[in-house]
Amino acid sequence: MERNRPVLPLAGFTCGRRHQRITGLNLESLNLTGSISPHVGNLSFLRVLNLQNNSFSHEIPPEIGRLHRLQDLLLNNNSLGGEIPSNLSACSQLLQIDLGHNSLVGRIPEELGTLSKLRILVIRYNNLSGSVPYSLRNLSTLEVLSASSNYLTGSITDIFSQLKKLTEIQFADNSLSGMIPSSIFNLSSLIRFSLQLNEIQGTFPSDLGIFSPSLQYFDIASNQFSGTIPVSISNASSLGHLGMQGNSLHGKVPSLANLHKLERFSLTSNNLGSGGLNDLSFICDLTRATNLKHLGINMNNFGGVLPECTANLSSSLARFYVSDNKLVGRLPNGIGNLVKLESLFLSMNQFSGEIPPALGKLQNLYQLDLAINSLSGEIPSSFGNLSRLTKLYLDDNNLQGNIPLSLADCHNLEILSVPRNNLSGIISSKIIGLSSSYIFLDLSRNRFTGPFPQEVGKLINLEYLDISENMFSGEIPSGLGSCIKVEKLHMQGNFFQETIPLSLASLRAKGVFTNATATSVRGNGNLCGGLLEFHLPKCKFKQPKKGGLSLTLKFIISIGCALLGGTFAFTFLYHCCVRRDIKDDSSSGSEKFIRLSYQSLLKATDGFSSSNLIGAGSFGSVYRGSLDQGETTIAVKVLNLVHPGASKSFKAECEALKNIRHRNLVKVLSACSGVDYHGHDFKALIYEYMVNGSLDEWLHPAPTVGETNESPRSLKFSQRLNIAIDVAMALDYLHHQCETPIVHCDLKPSNVLLNDDMIGHVGDFGLARFLLKLPDSCSGNQSSSLGVKGTIGYTPPEYGMGNEVWTQG
């Protein structure tokens, strides 16, 4: 009886009905590590080997070449290295090979061309080099060929004449050059064609079979294509993504009336247009694309006016780039109908007339660039409705009047740039002190008058201030002494008088005063004093009147001051001696941060794959990644810059972590601030990876699908006590051993991470605050972040009642 009982298959294993041999091995997404065992080659009946979305490293075992019945080989999203085994060609039944998102090196084996049944070949996001093998022309059943994000070189060989079933060709982000084989253009079955970020040259025939109703994605951006856009593009009625930016295309844009499904369309940085009146007639064709979200036609030669039909573009349009063309006339009022717009760039044209007040209806707008035009009139007061606006560029126009007071309602404004206009009047303190969000403020070359507001001292994040070539008068505001981050300060060409404020003397060792050439005060004839590098005359002080204190009283005051000074000196020396070891330890722990680009982070996280997502919060998401071919595991926190507080969180965390080191603080390895491949701002922080997750996951384990009867993981009392001590040590260091005390403001179990030894590390300093006293011009403590502290679940009561943050909160 026992001998006839059927064998129950283990989880992840599939067995044949006849011979009870293993035919399928599915161990996907189980966080498996180590190397793939060569003994897998003994499973001679295996048809499916699925190990994707794990952390396997080392080489692909060549013993897999013995699996002659193998049909599906799925090893993507791991950390595999070495070369692709050439003897995979012995697996003659293979239908699908996916080795993407690994660290494979070497060339693509010529032998793969013998796999006559192969339908899918995916080798993207690796470190493969060399050319595309000519033998791949024999894969007549191939449907998907994906080799993006490698280091492939040379020209694309003509392998496509026999590959009639291809639906996807992806060679983006390589170093391919030369011409495209003409046979590609006749593949009418293509759904996706991706060739961006290479060095491909050539022109397009006027009639391309590739532009068929089945084509959904076509991207040739950042290459060296020339000639005109073929008129047959109108046949691609299913096209959703059309990217042609960064080439040398010229001529007229053909009709796009049939492209109803278009969502992203970019012609940026070409030579399209003639400068004539009808260059933008294709804009009206795009009004039929009801899902259009991105439209980029900037950096071309388009002329004429921006047509009124612009108002009828998709209500989903979020990004509209028209800068650097030869457009003239007034801006259409109907732009205000595009209520989903987030970025609107109209700079470097010849637009005239007044700025339409209807732009104030674009309440989702966070970037508005109208610079370098011939716009006149006043800045619309309706701009005060743009509550999410972070960047406003109005440079080089003919604008008049004053900056409207309503702009004080734009509390997220980081960049206000209005130089070289005819603006006038007295700058309101409400505009200058609207919030601490300003990073860049340029009011230069206008006709502003009166004193410059003292409220400038509230701009604690200000890095660039230019108020030169105006008619400001009075004293230079002493509040500037609080702007310790300023790196460039220009005040020349005004009527400032009296002495340089003493409050600025405290900045000499920081910011702008480390480089006197970054500061200019010339042209203010009545200024005196200040740094020697400013070459200003000495201030003439009036002699004090005779009389005053008696000789006896002066003697008593002198003795008292001497005793008080001695007490302070003794206290200072004592603290220096006590804290010297702490400071020495801190300074010795400083180290250089590794340099990481957007591309390296993209590869490290497998294209920010959802399989590597380990957490998400209000300001961004955290991904697991691998560097140095899988030898170093990192955690990458990618900021969601659409969130209005994300940029502040990034700066606050960088400021808090750059000079602190402690065994119970999460170690920051690097930071990355730049743009991604779509030209969007990108900010990320890179940390040491904590393999045991957060304390919250151990205190409140979530039930998983298919949970076994085994008891969930838990913490012993000794472990809980040790973790509590770890957190206390971290807080003691932050509160009492840092040169400037730091208050975390968001300490909770999910922000306490555990390494492989279950040692607690405090992380997430996005709401941290420095307890640094400001000068008298500003009250309270200087903070690296604003707003309510803490998160949902618990916030210290004193924060909600408006009291100051302190170390016992």
Q: Among all chains, which residue has been given the structure tokens 């060339």?
A: 107
Confidence check: pLDDT of 590 > 50:
no
Reported as a pLDDT band with limits 50, 70 and 90, residue 735 is confident
Alpha carbons 305 and 322: distance in angstroms, whole number? 11
Two tokens, residue 757: 């030894």
Out of 263, 278, 294, a domain closes at: 294
Is 729 a domain residue?
yes
Is 389 a domain residue?
no
Reported as a pLDDT band with limits 50, 70 and 90, residue 552 is low
Is 310 a domain residue?
no
- Most confidently modeled range among 50-64, 581-595, 604-618: 50-64
- Catalogue the E-assigned strands of 572-717: 613-616, 620-627, 632-639, 668-675, 681-688
Residue-wise pLDDT tens digits, 62-111: 999 999 999 999 999 999 999 999 999 999 999 999 999 999 999 999 99
For the chain, percent of residues with pLDDT exceeding 90: 49
Confidence check: pLDDT of 325 > 90:
yes
Mean pLDDT value across residues 128-141:
95
Mean pLDDT value across residues 775-796:
44
Out of 247, 275, 294, a domain closes at: 294
* Whether the Cβ atoms of residue 206 and residue 183 lie closer than 8 Å to each other: no
The number of folded domains in the chain is 2
Alpha carbons 657 and 635: distance in angstroms, whole number? 15
Out of 274, 294, 314, a domain closes at: 294
Mean pLDDT value across residues 523-537:
52
Decide: helix, strand or coil at residue 593.
coil
Two tokens, residue 513: 């005063």
Alpha carbons 567 and 670: distance in angstroms, whole number? 44
How many helices (H) and strands (E) the chain has is answered by 8, 52
The annotation status of 637 as a binding-site residue, yes or no, is: yes
End-to-end CA distance of the chain: 70
Closest CA to 651 of 624, 623, 674, 673: 673
Residue 436, amino acid: S
- Most confidently modeled range among 353-357, 660-664, 682-686, 731-735: 353-357
Is 112 a domain residue?
no
Radius of gyration of the chain (CA): 33
Alpha carbons 595 and 672: distance in angstroms, whole number? 8
Confidence check: pLDDT of 314 > 90:
yes
pLDDT at 609: 86
Q: DSSP letters of 187-206?
A: -TT-SEEE--SSEEEE---S
Please tell me which residue, 551 or 462, carries the higher pLDDT value: 462
Alpha carbons 199 and 372: distance in angstroms, whole number? 32
Residue-wise pLDDT tens digits, 436-495: 688 899 999 999 999 999 888 888 888 899 999 999 998 888 888 888 888 888 988 898
Please tell me which residue, 15 or 159, carries the higher pLDDT value: 159
* Whether the Cβ atoms of residue 678 and residue 222 lie closer than 8 Å to each other: no
Distances (CA, A) of 23 to 46, 91, 115, 477: 4, 14, 20, 79
Average predicted confidence (pLDDT) for the chain:
82
Report the CATH number at residue 262.
3.80.10.10
Alpha carbons 477 and 472: distance in angstroms, whole number? 11
* Whether the Cβ atoms of residue 358 and residue 338 lie closer than 8 Å to each other: no
Domain range enclosing 248 = 205-294
Q: Among all chains, which residue has been given the structure tokens 């006197």?
A: 516
Closest CA to 55 of 627, 630, 693: 630
* Whether the Cβ atoms of residue 311 and residue 287 lie closer than 8 Å to each other: no
| Chain centroid offset of residue 142 CA | 37
Is 366 a domain residue?
no
pLDDT at 567: 58
* Whether the Cβ atoms of residue 169 and residue 196 lie closer than 8 Å to each other: no
Reported as a pLDDT band with limits 50, 70 and 90, residue 556 is low
Catalogue the active-site residues: 746
Is 591 a domain residue?
no
Residue 147, amino acid: A
Is 183 a domain residue?
no
pTM across the whole model: 0.65
Closest CA to 166 of 197, 140, 132: 140
Distances (CA, A) of 277 to 250, 252, 282, 302, 326: 16, 12, 12, 9, 10
Confidence check: pLDDT of 803 > 90:
no
The β-bridge partners of 639 are 620
Backbone angles phi, psi at 656, to 5 degrees: -70, -35
Confidence check: pLDDT of 779 > 80:
no
Report the CATH number at residue 731.
1.10.510.10
Two tokens, residue 388: 């999410």
| Chain centroid offset of residue 266 CA | 20
Is 638 a domain residue?
yes
